[in-house]
């Protein structure tokens, strides 16, 4: 249960963050499942996807 609550907090922070903040959260958060990363990615603004891809390279 704690990991679910923790993810909800991460998701809330991600939703409210700037694009750079979203990128930082996405690239530095550890321990999430593939589905959780996908859920965050669905909330990411598509016009900045290249910037996210560059940050992950």
Percentage helix, strand, coil for the chain under 3-state DSSP, each rounded to 5: 80, 0, 20
Residue 17 is classified by DSSP as S
pTM above 0.75, yes or no: yes
Quickly tell me which residue has 């939703």 as its tokens: 15
Buried b (16+ CB within 10 A) or exposed e, 4-37: eeebeebbeebeeeeeeebbebbeebeebeeebe
What is the per-residue pLDDT across 12-49, written as a single tens digit (0 to 9) for each? 999 999 999 999 999 999 999 999 999 999 999 999 99
pLDDT of residue 23: 97
């Amino acid at each position: 249960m704690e990991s679910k609550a923790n993810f909800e907090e991460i998701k809330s922070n991600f939703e409210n963050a700037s694009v750079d903040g979203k990128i930082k959260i996405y690239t530095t958060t550890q321990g999430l499942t593939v589905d959780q990363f996908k859920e965050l990615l669905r909330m990411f603004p598509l016009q900045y996807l290249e910037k996210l891809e560059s940050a992950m390279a």
